[in-house]
Structure 1
Amino acid sequence: MDIFEGLTGEVILPDDPQYDAARQEWNRAIQKFPSVIVYCSEYEDVSQAILWAQKYGKDIRIRSGGHHYEGYSAGNGVLVIDISRLNDVTINEENGRVKVQAGIQNKDLYQAIGSRGYPFPGGTCPTVGVSGFVLGAGWGFSSRLFGLGCDSLVELELINYKGNVLKVNETENSDLFWACKGAGGGNFGVVVSMTFKLPPKVEQVTLFELYKPGATTKELGKFLRIWQKWLVNLDDRMCLNASMYNAVSEGLAIFGRGFFYGKKEEALELLNVYKKINGFQISARSLPFLEAVKEVQSTYPPYEKFKSTGRFVYKEYDCEEVEAIVNLVKKRAEGSIFAALTVYAMGGQIRNVGKTESAFYYRKARYILGIQSVWEDPAVAEENRRWVEKRFRYLKTITKGSFINFPYSELKDYEKEYFGRNVDRLQRINQKYDPKRVFAFPQSIR
């Protein structure tokens, strides 16, 4: 009897010629070998895969874009439910809604709604799956104006451990709806569709860039001191991230970019304060939203090898702390081609939702502080991971909580780190919707 009978969709097994390409994640530093990969084109394929996994005692991993930093959307010996072929978009301009199937990627959603003149609070990397992005709250260049990715979510459909499709919104399965806004990635079932409210149309946005080549650690420190004061009263229409980095090609430098929903001149005025740093370059252009997004997306490589994570900052750092932070990137790990500290602006509309109104707890943080190392040669992987781990230990002492979308496998008390005081409620909801722990994975809700 064929054990794989009952699985529908396209089934890829280890001896298939396309297996090697099919098992890869975006982070090529992670190499996992699943037993079965199922590409689902219908909801029925997802249901069958969930039931099959239980029948044959296989662990399940759910994959849309394959961008999980720690590779939890794959695994050794598991069944990967790949929903990337579930990627339809339906736009209803009359009621201001867009419904997407959960396998859609940032670039395709932007194309569909951007071509009609709408912006969208999605992510920056083109091939990230919108569902993973949104279910982990989702930060992007429109977040300070429109909120996080999960804040415009009005409904989703989820296939549970019994293979049934649940409708999930404010009135039906409302506890699950709450949980999926910030803690939904893989925990309760397979999300197969999401409906969002459309933001108002925009003619143009301003795409701006900040660049300081040939920087010193002193200048990195000056940047961080300006940044933390400047952010406090920043206009909600502006959102950005900026990296203080050490690259094999340029040494120390600063690069930032973001969107401003307003005129180019206003954006330049808001950014002028950074001119206090000698040789700091600031440029801005007005573009249709879709073009601005494409411009940002074009800078991403097709894949990378990296270790990266991010924490929430609630305070203003003193001179000693600033110095300690920027010194973290003074020296790269052996074989590292790029090491960075990245700041992601929060505030604005993000903090207008209470910290227990959705599963995303860290609403009042000022910004996210990320750290990463990128390498090419697999032989230096461990050295680079250790470099990040060592620096993370310090960052943990001056920050609060970790961002679930920048997951970190070394976290001890990961549930509390990711979800703060929302953990108990999430555990109860998980028990209710996945009592058999069919969707358990490393760092899932217990």
Structure 2
Amino acid sequence: MAGRPVEGFGGVLLRPGDSGYDGARVVFNAMIDKRPALIAQCESAADVAAAVRFGVRQGLEIAVRGAGHSVAGTGVTDGGLVIDLRKMRNVQFDPDARIARVGGGATWSDLDRAAWAYSMATTGGRVSSTGVAGLTLGGGSGWLERKFGLACDSLVSVELITADGELVIADETKNRELFWALHGGGGNFGVATALTLRLHPLPGMTLARLFWPADAGPTVMRAYRDLFEQGAPDELGGSVFYAAAPRRDFIPPTLQGKAAVGVTATFTGSGAELRTALAPVLGLAPDGMMLAELPYAEVQSALDDPPGFRNYWSAEHLASWPDEAVDLFTARAADMPSPMTSQQLVCPWGGAVARYADRWPLPHRSAPWVVQSYGVWSDPADDADGIAWAKNVCADLRPYSTGAVYLNFIGDEGHDRVVAGFGKDNYDRLARVKAEFDPDNVFRLNQNIRPG
């Protein structure tokens, strides 16, 4: 296979030993170190189709790589074929129709910066280097979700190469059951070579970052919780978290690099409107504060996590967040590994996230709160401690959980967690779609849905 040509393929093929191979196999999570037999850097849907047909004929395990941001490292495989979409990053706009067509390898930075020229946006990931396709097809949580819904709620159509190498289009009129499945079912059904997304007018955006010493955590978290439970506007999003205070001018030197409790607040409007909406939390007099009206693309990239670190993430969706759960969350912060890079946070859902709760195969979105643990460290010797801490943050809060989970927030936590991500009835329906479009489970390096 090593020297065999790929019929109909017009992109770049990389094999072990080729110049560029080692760089091309690196993914975001430094814990993942795999060596594929072949990396097919595609430049068109035809290239993707040719690569899929070749991989199936050769019996190769196939990984699909967009931005490579999956914490489980599913964009690369040992000894198999990587279908690399990073050369397919084109973005085309129809500003009158308020839609954008993006290539399967585009990142949110590609889309956000282009859309801002039209004062428009759609919900995207909180990290600009995340891939549009991977995030959207998995559901798509982001700063704008309480206002505009998850990313998949703005999905108009998907162009997909299936396991037999054929191009299909899924939208509200064609392949409707597949279109339903692509609202959360991820990469289980084929390779998305292009997505069309609905855009929303967004004339202004404001970002605030607030920090207090860690011992203020219980007070800050209760105030933040009460603000949203008492009816915060849908325009207000963000999170409350524990992490090390960054070394920035707006942070007092005595707090920089120290354990802190913080609030990230985003608002689809002006700084004055954000101050009004966030008043109960601002009234707690943060030690450090930054508040600025920024282009949405700048908000999206303000908290980009650096590549090259070892990562383990997990999450729980809470039905409630009572005082005793706040205390459990606070206590676990003392065990945080590598506090300069790790963080544990709680995000408010509700708003437009909840309004689409029954439309797509994503039952978790009825939850009012999401707990996330991001273990991030550099030394392989810290792997066991980092993974254990991330799991324990969620285990502490599990008694308050809905039992469902948004699968883009977690790594490989087993088949039962995949079923929980959709609910049993939705999972069975997704499995039937999987059986139609990928009966042999060719696309299994993902949060896998087994053919029904």
* TM-score (structure 2 length as normaliser): 0.91
Quote how far apart the aligned CAs of 1:204 are: 2.1
Quote how far apart the aligned CAs of 1:29 are: 1.9
Q: Compared with structure 1, are the counterparts of its residues 91 and 3 closer, same or farther at alpha carbon in structure 2 (3 Å cutoff)?
A: same
Quote how far apart the aligned CAs of 1:92 are: 0.9
Quote how far apart the aligned CAs of 1:401 are: 1.8
Deviation digits for residues 202-249 of structure 1 (CA, Å, limit 9, x no counterpart):
33222222222x321xx2222222222211211011111232125797
What do you get for the CA RMSD once the two structures are aligned?
2.1
Q: 1:310 maps to what in 2? A: 315
Aligned 1:31-430 pairs, distance under 5 A: 31-183=33-185, 185-200=186-201, 202-212=202-212, 214-216=213-215, 219-232=216-229, 233-245=231-243, 250-275=257-282, 277=284, 279-294=286-301, 296=302, 299-317=304-322, 319-333=323-337, 337-355=340-358, 357-399=359-401, 400-411=403-414, 413-421=416-424, 422-430=426-434
Deviation digits for residues 20-74 of structure 1 (CA, Å, limit 9, x no counterpart):
1111111112212211111100111101111111111101111100000111111
Please give the alpha-carbon distance, in whole angstroms, between the structure 2 residues aligned to 1:235 and 1:445.
36
Please give the alpha-carbon distance, in whole angstroms, between the structure 1 residues aligned to 2:179 and 2:155.
9
Q: Compared with structure 1, are the counterparts of its residues 293 and 245 closer, same or farther at alpha carbon in structure 2 (3 Å cutoff)?
A: closer
Please give the alpha-carbon distance, in whole angstroms, between the structure 1 residues aligned to 2:133 and 2:214.
38
Please give the alpha-carbon distance, in whole angstroms, between the structure 1 residues aligned to 2:115 and 2:71.
27
Structure 2 unaligned spans of 5+? 247-255
Deviation digits for residues 376-395 of structure 1 (CA, Å, limit 9, x no counterpart):
11222233222323443333
Q: Compared with structure 1, are the counterparts of its residues 160 and 289 closer, same or farther at alpha carbon in structure 2 (3 Å cutoff)?
A: same
Quote how far apart the aligned CAs of 1:265 are: 1.6
Aligned letter for 2:242? Answer: M
Aligned letter for 2:78? Answer: N
| Maintained 8 Å contact 2:89/2:103 | yes
Structure 1 unaligned spans of 5+? none
Deviation digits for residues 284-327 of structure 1 (CA, Å, limit 9, x no counterpart):
22233344445x25x5324422211222112132x332212211
| Maintained 8 Å contact 2:371/2:394 | no
Aligned letter for 1:215? Answer: A
Quote how far apart the aligned CAs of 1:443 are: 3.5
Please give the alpha-carbon distance, in whole angstroms, between the structure 1 residues aligned to 2:296 and 2:285.
31
| Maintained 8 Å contact 1:336/1:376 | no
| Maintained 8 Å contact 1:23/1:34 | yes
Quote how far apart the aligned CAs of 1:442 are: 5.5
Please give the alpha-carbon distance, in whole angstroms, between the structure 1 residues aligned to 2:77 and 2:361.
26
Q: Compared with structure 1, are the counterparts of its residues 247 and 79 closer, same or farther at alpha carbon in structure 2 (3 Å cutoff)?
A: farther
Please give the alpha-carbon distance, in whole angstroms, between the structure 1 residues aligned to 2:5 and 2:388.
40
The 3-state SS of whatever aligns with 1:384 is helix
Quote how far apart the aligned CAs of 1:103 are: 0.9
Instruction: Give identity over the alignment, percent.
Output: 28
Please give the alpha-carbon distance, in whole angstroms, between the structure 2 residues aligned to 1:393 and 1:127.
29
